[in-house]
Amino acid sequence: MISRCAIALLFSLLACLTLASPTCGATIDAITFAAEPGKLFLPVNEALDELKWPVGRDEMGRVLLLNELGLRAGSLRTLTDGTELVSLDLLAEAGAQVSPMDEEGRVKVGGLFRGFTLKAGAQRVVVSLKNQQLQGWQGDRLVLQTHISSGRDGRTPAGEFRAGPFRTRMHHSSLYHNAPMPWSVQINGNVFIHGFTSVPDYPASHGCIRVPLTDGNPAKFFYEWVLNGSPVSVTKD
């Protein structure tokens, strides 16, 4: 006669084998982009580690192999440090089983005995005027960290703001000689987070928060990543 404990264990195992169960395997913080609404991304290496899929490249390093589907690295997004990201859509095309998103925004990815849960947490941005640094977080994942250059003489206001609503790939300052401000995201009146050619590690702007266009182009990444309405905390310490 099967004991109650054995029956409970059996049902627990069956639950882990179904895509509907979000509790089996690792839970991975997904990354979303304002530029690609509705899509979930995660680092390629994390996906392959959980799915136990091999990875291969050609001699030029241009092709990333997910299972038996060849994907060009150029089709993948990257973090500013070069970490390659893959979308949930591409994983599904490569053969991963994907469950419908549950009420808590979780998606089960994988199959029998292997897989993971993908969940997109809320975005938040922290700008330290003291350290001249910007960090972008999604859930518990740090997706962006870059030095910045804020306003001279305390011209950049500290406080709690929101990204947007105005944003544009190329803005020109109406206050300062039509200066170009690529990848501009408004956070407070005339204060924008935007790219600039000169971003020293000390306050140098008229009030905006300058972000570099080099070293992975964090200005462009921020513009394409941050959603309108995401909280932006600008702190003095």
Using pLDDT thresholds of 50, 70 and 90, give the confidence band for residue 12: very low
Q: What is the pLDDT of residue 100?
A: 93
Q: Distance between CA atoms of 1 and 7, rounded to whole angstroms?
A: 10
Of residues 193 and 174, the one with the higher pLDDT is 193
Q: Is the pLDDT of residue 7 over 50?
A: no
Using pLDDT thresholds of 50, 70 and 90, give the confidence band for residue 147: very high
Q: Is the pLDDT of residue 154 over 60?
A: yes
Alpha helices in 87-190 (DSSP H): 88-93
Tell me which of 30-34, 60-64, 156-160, 213-217 is least confident: 60-64
Using pLDDT thresholds of 50, 70 and 90, give the confidence band for residue 178: low
Q: What is the pLDDT of residue 37?
A: 96
CATH number of this structure's domain 123-235, picked from the four choices 2.60.120.10, 3.90.550.10, 3.10.20.70, 2.40.440.10: 2.40.440.10
Of residues 218 and 71, the one with the higher pLDDT is 218
What are the residue ranges spanned by the domains of the chain? 23-120, 123-235
For 179, which DSSP code? -
Q: What is the pLDDT of residue 111?
A: 62
Q: What is the mean pLDDT of residues 211-217?
A: 97
Cis peptide bond upstream of 54, omega within 30? no
What is the percent of the chain with per-residue pLDDT over 90, rounded to a whole number? 67
Q: Is the pLDDT of residue 137 over 60?
A: yes
Q: Is the pLDDT of residue 64 over 80?
A: no
Q: What is the pLDDT of residue 114?
A: 84
Query: Is residue 100 packed enough to be buried (19+ CB in 10 Å), middle (13-18) or exposed (0-12)?
Result: exposed
Question: Is residue 51 a contact partner of residue 141, using CB atoms and an 8 Å limit?
Answer: no
Residue 210: both structure tokens together? 């300058």
Q: What is the pLDDT of residue 9?
A: 37
Tell me which of 6-10, 19-23, 210-214 is least confident: 6-10
Beta bridge partners of 183: none
82-131 pLDDT tens trace = 999 999 999 998 889 999 999 988 999 986 678 999 999 999 999 999 99
Using pLDDT thresholds of 50, 70 and 90, give the confidence band for residue 24: low
Q: What is the pLDDT of residue 63?
A: 67
Q: Is the pLDDT of residue 234 over 60?
A: yes
Question: Is residue 65 a contact partner of residue 154, using CB atoms and an 8 Å limit?
Answer: no
Q: What is the mean pLDDT of residues 68-95?
A: 87
